[in-house]
């Protein structure tokens, strides 16, 4: 029996170190996508709430940016310690809110969150400039200063992990934050912000305003008190953010969509390639920006790749995210499930062949069968448009040039994979692929130490590593006359 609204926990905004109700008094019901049952009531922030958060972040900026870098590092390391202590709580929260299998969150998401915080804690006292001998009668040097107040707009597919990709480097650089989690997965951001306060992050430095993108997100983009917006999400929303940010020349970093090609040559280890290809498209129910949704197989092995991939799809255990043997949970929402099933219909109408899957599982929860399409032509919509679900399109190719042509033939350029036993071939093809990350004889790994991002409909700029330090700082040149 579902809980009544009065029985549900109520989550207010977190502004200036305090939980505060939304100015409008409005709340929405957060739903568990596996059961369709209510989890909590979550505050619906407004433009006025964003303004309050910006004023708190602006007031806290001088103290946080002016703190000794080593002290900021100590606070971030305490933050990582607390995340580690509360890891299982965060695993459960993320699983319930986003429908992610417990085992996957425990294995990947939460360890990556902790690693990200520790990595950027190490950067705090290493953000430096340089002396540039421009002329003998002056001391000329550069410093890097915090960009200021940052608006971080976080997606629903990896709320904890991608959220921390933005939060940790911004804090390390001395910035203050207004974080807007996705409306349908807000719970982990609120809990993480509470742990940051407990670790010693001062009030006002890390604020969370929940609510609709069309309200809270737009207010963040438009607010003149926010110096930078970092966003992960769809290309359509990303374009809107760029247009809005242009009004006051706000800096932006955008990590957007993907339609990544996983290229399998005939001389590859086909078993290893199809195993990784299945993981590359079905992990997190295909709700991954770098999902290998286009599997390009050389004609000599095309039928074998389709057969092996379909067998792996049928073997995936789809079900309750809390069950230890579940390897794929539900899609995040009813709307996303409809989008995916609509694309299955499109693929069938275009003439592709659904070898396996393509249907909803059960009548409760947003579960969709892992789906493999064969006989896919490069120009089909299921080959060109991001589905963001467990739908693989297997496309034949003839030779190296044909593979590169097809792989590069979309508006996206986030990631790609190449499988071959020929070392010269994989290096050559990797160099010709238009992608921010290319995996060779593997697929899908990420690490906070390596740059992450793409171009075109895949975004603008890079996250991770030292690229994130550049995202959240501004260089300043200083000229001291010696005459």
Cα–Cα separations (whole angstroms), residue 355 to 34, 45, 347, 351, 359: 26, 45, 12, 12, 12
Q: Which stretches of 235-326 are DSSP H helices?
A: 235-246, 270-282, 302-315
Q: Tokens in use for 233?
A: 């999400």
CA 293 – CA 417 distance, rounded (Å): 11
Lookup result for tokens 């019901």: 29
Among 148, 157, 153, 156, smallest CA distance to 166 is for 153
Task: Mention every residue, 6+ apart, whose C-beta is less than 8 A from residue 317.
Answer: 323, 325, 326, 327, 328
Q: What is the pTM of this model?
A: 0.96
Task: Share the mean pLDDT of the chain.
Answer: 97
CA 134 – CA 140 distance, rounded (Å): 6
Residues 68-127 have pLDDT tens digits of 999 999 999 999 999 999 999 999 999 999 999 999 999 999 999 999 999 999 999 999
- Percentage of residues in the chain having pLDDT higher than 70: 99
Q: In the prediction, which pLDDT does 136 show?
A: 94
- CB atoms < 10 A from the CB of 174, how many? 25
Per-residue exposure over 455-481, b if at least 16 CB sit within 10 Å of its own CB, e if not: bebbbbbbbbbebbbbbbbeeeeeeee
Among 436, 435, 465, 467, smallest CA distance to 448 is for 465
Residues 453-467 have pLDDT tens digits of 999 999 999 999 999
Task: Mention every residue, 6+ apart, whose C-beta is less than 8 A from residue 309.
Answer: 274, 277, 278, 295, 372, 392, 394
Residues 146-166 have pLDDT tens digits of 999 999 999 999 999 999 999
Among 219, 210, 216, smallest CA distance to 244 is for 219
Residues 391-431 have pLDDT tens digits of 999 999 999 999 999 999 999 999 999 999 999 999 999 99
- Which of the residues are catalytic? 255, 289
Which residue(s) pair with 146 in the sheet? Answer: 473
- Average of pLDDT values for 228-243? 96
Q: In the prediction, which pLDDT does 3 show?
A: 54
CA 330 – CA 458 distance, rounded (Å): 25
Residues 263-283 have pLDDT tens digits of 999 999 999 999 999 999 999
Residues 169-225 have pLDDT tens digits of 999 999 999 999 999 999 999 999 999 999 999 999 999 999 999 999 999 999 999
CA 136 – CA 158 distance, rounded (Å): 52
């Amino acid at each position: 029996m579902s809980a009544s609204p009065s029985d549900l926990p109520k989550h207010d905004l977190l502004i200036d170190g305090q939980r505060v109700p939304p100015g409008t008094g409005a709340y929405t019901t957060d739903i568990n996508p596996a059961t369709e049952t209510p989890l909590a009531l979550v505050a619906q922030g407004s433009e006025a709430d964003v303004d309050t958060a910006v004023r708190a972040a602006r007031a806290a900026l001088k103290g946080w940016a002016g703190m000794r870098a080593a002290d900021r590092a100590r606070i971030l390391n305490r933050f990582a310690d607390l995340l580690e202590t509360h890891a299982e709580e965060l695993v459960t929260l993320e699983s319930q809110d986003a429908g992610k299998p417990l085992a996957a969150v425990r294995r990947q998401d939460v360890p990556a969150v902790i690693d990200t915080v520790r990595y950027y804690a190490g950067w705090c006292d290493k953000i430096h400039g340089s002396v540039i001998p421009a002329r003998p009668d002056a001391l000329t040097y550069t410093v890097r200063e915090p960009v200021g107040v940052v608006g971080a707009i976080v997606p629903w597919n990896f709320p904890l992990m991608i959220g921390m990709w933005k939060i940790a480097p911004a804090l390390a650089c001395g910035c203050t934050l207004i974080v807007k989690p996705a409306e349908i997965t807000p719970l982990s951001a609120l809990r993480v912000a509470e742990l940051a306060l407990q670790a010693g992050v001062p009030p006002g430095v890390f604020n969370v305003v929940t609510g609709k993108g069309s309200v809270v997100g737009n207010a963040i983009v438009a607010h003149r008190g926010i110096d930078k917006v970092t966003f992960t999400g769809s290309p359509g929303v990303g374009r809107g953010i760029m247009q809005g940010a242009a009004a006051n020349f706000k800096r932006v970093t955008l990590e957007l969509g993907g339609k990544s090609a996983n290229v399998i040559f005939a001389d590859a280890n086909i078993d290893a390639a199809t195993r990784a290809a299945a993981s590359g498209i079905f992990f997190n129910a295909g709700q991954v920006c770098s999902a290998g949704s286009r599997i390009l197989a050389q004609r000599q092995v095309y039928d074998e790749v389709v057969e092996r991939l379909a067998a792996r799809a049928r073997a995936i255990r789809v079900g309750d995210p809390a069950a230890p043997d579940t390897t794929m949970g539900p899609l995040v929402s009813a709307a996303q499930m409809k989008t995916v099933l609509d694309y299955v219909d499109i693929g069938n109408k275009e003439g592709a062949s659904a070898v396996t899957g393509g249907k909803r599982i059960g009548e409760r929860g947003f579960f969709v069968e892992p789906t493999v399409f064969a006989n896919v032509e490069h120009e089909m919509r299921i080959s060109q448009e991001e589905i963001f679900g467990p739908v693989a399109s297997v496309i034949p190719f003839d030779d190296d040039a044909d593979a590169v042509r097809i792989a590069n033939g979309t508006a996206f350029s986030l990631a790609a994979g190449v499988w071959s036993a020929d070392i010269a071939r994989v290096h050559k093809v990797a160099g010709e692929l238009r992608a921010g990350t290319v995996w060779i004889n593997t697929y899908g790994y990420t690490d906070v130490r390596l740059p992450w991002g793409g171009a075109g409909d895949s975004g603008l700029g890079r996250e991770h590593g030292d690229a994130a330090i550049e995202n959240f700082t501004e260089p300043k040149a200083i000229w001291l006359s010696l005459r």
